[in-house]
């Protein structure tokens, strides 16, 4: 595949950033920004379905986000739990299948239970795959993969000389999913913040200055249009 103008991305990944600044601009507490951000999630899930996108990965909480004040973490976890409880039925109706990647055992028990329940009740759906990155850090994911590969090598079930990128990727939490074609980051920051470092090697990147709570279907459509104007070369000419 060389110099092909892509059409619709199969997999979109989003770093949903800027909730706190959106709230601060309005003299509101940060948690109100997170609440408003949840509405954008609903919009974008719907938008992806309408556009025929197969996979949507949302960076919802990073490994590093555990360093935030306890009050903010609690608010985020409560919001997550509420979101899962309220939206599972809707997701199911929309044929959305929920997945999660990250160190999920670090989530509070009630969040984990709501997550497991939402994943189980949407497991047979065949439409959009929605992948939530929660307590997720790409370096941790890569370390976990390296560790399981090393164990397999020691156990004699994997030949270290035969290791290739396909085998490596099969040990990542994202093994069931294709790599993202398009990475979107809101709020204008030009960094990856430990998100899918391996998987976005050849993703097209679109950065928008809008804060996440302002990101709506039209913004998703604009990002997809920009993507479709790009020329993906994958190192070829
Ligand atoms: C993104 O918004 C949500 C999470 C990281 C959980 P932020 O909370 O990072 O908002 P800003 O970047 O401080 O504005
Ligand atoms: C990245 O946003 C993580 C999520 C969107 C969940 P951050 O706000 O945590 O990233 P930095 O701190 O600006 O790099
Ligand atoms: Mg941020």
Number of C-alpha atoms within 13 angstroms, CB side, residue 40?
26
pLDDT at residue 120, rounded to an integer: 98
Residue nearest (by alpha carbon) to ligand 2 atom 8: 17
Q: Round to whole Å and give the CA distance between 22 and 37.
A: 9
Q: Which residue has the tokens 């919802």?
A: 60
* Record: fold of 11-138+179-228: Undecaprenyl pyrophosphate synthetase (3.40.1180)
pLDDT tens series, the chain, 237 aa: 444 456 899 999 999 999 999 999 999 999 999 999 999 999 999 999 999 999 999 999 999 999 999 999 999 999 999 999 999 999 999 999 999 999 999 999 999 999 999 999 999 999 999 999 999 999 999 999 999 999 999 999 999 999 999 999 999 999 999 999 999 999 999 999 999 999 999 999 999 999 999 999 999 999 999 999 999 999 999
> From start to end of 7-128, where are the E strands?
11-15, 55-62, 97-101
pLDDT at residue 167, rounded to an integer: 97
pLDDT at residue 6, rounded to an integer: 63
**Which atom of ligand 2 is the closest one to the Cα of 193?**
14
Which residues are near ligand 3, the ion (C-beta closer than 5 Å)?
Answer: 17
Residue nearest (by alpha carbon) to ligand 2 atom 1: 193
pLDDT at residue 1, rounded to an integer: 44
**Which atom of ligand 2 is the closest one to the Cα of 61?**
6
Ligand of minimum distance to the alpha carbon of 189:
2
User: Which residues sit with their C-beta closer than 6 Å to ligand 1?
Assistant: 16-21, 61, 65, 76, 187, 212
Q: Which two tokens stand for residue 137?
A: 């850090």
Q: Round to whole Å and give the CA distance between 226 and 205.
A: 10
DSSP string over 207-223: E-SS-GGG--HHHHHHH
Instruction: Provide the whole-model pTM.
Output: 0.97
Catalytic residue numbers read 17, 65
Q: Which two tokens stand for residue 153?
A: 């090598």
Q: Which residue has the tokens 């439409």?
A: 127
User: Which residues sit with their C-beta closer than 6 Å to ligand 2?
Assistant: 15-17, 59-62, 64-65, 189, 191, 193
> From start to end of the chain, where are the E strands?
11-15, 55-62, 97-101, 129-136, 182-185, 204-207
- Dist. CA 69 → ligand 3 center (Å): 14
């Amino acid at each position: 595949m060389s110099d092909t103008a892509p059409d619709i991305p199969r997999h979109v990944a989003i770093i949903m950033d800027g909730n706190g600044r959106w709230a601060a601009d309005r003299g509101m507490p940060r948690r109100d920004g997170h609440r408003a951000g949840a509405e954008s999630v609903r919009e974008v899930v719907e938008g992806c379905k309408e556009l025929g996108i197969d996979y949507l990965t949302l960076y919802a909480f990073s490994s590093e986000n555990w360093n935030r004040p306890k009050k903010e973490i609690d608010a985020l976890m409560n919001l997550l739990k509420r979101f899962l409880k309220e939206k599972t039925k809707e997701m199911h109706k929309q044929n959305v299948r929920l997945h999660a990647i990250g160190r999920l055992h670090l989530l509070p028990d009630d969040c984990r239970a709501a997550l497991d329940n939402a994943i189980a009740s949407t497991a047979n759906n065949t439409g959009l795959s929605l992948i939530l990155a929660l307590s997720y850090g790409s370096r941790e994911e890569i370390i976990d993969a390296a560790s399981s590969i090393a164990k397999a090598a020691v156990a004699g079930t994997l030949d270290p000389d035969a290791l290739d990128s396909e085998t490596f990727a099969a040990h990542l939490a994202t093994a069931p999913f294709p790599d993202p074609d398009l990475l979107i980051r809101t709020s204008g920051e030009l960094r990856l913040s430990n998100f899918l470092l391996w998987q976005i090697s050849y993703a097209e990147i679109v950065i928008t200055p809008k804060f996440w709570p302002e990101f709506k279907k039209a913004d998703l459509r604009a990002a997809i249009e920009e993507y479709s104007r790009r020329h993906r070369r994958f190192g070829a000419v």
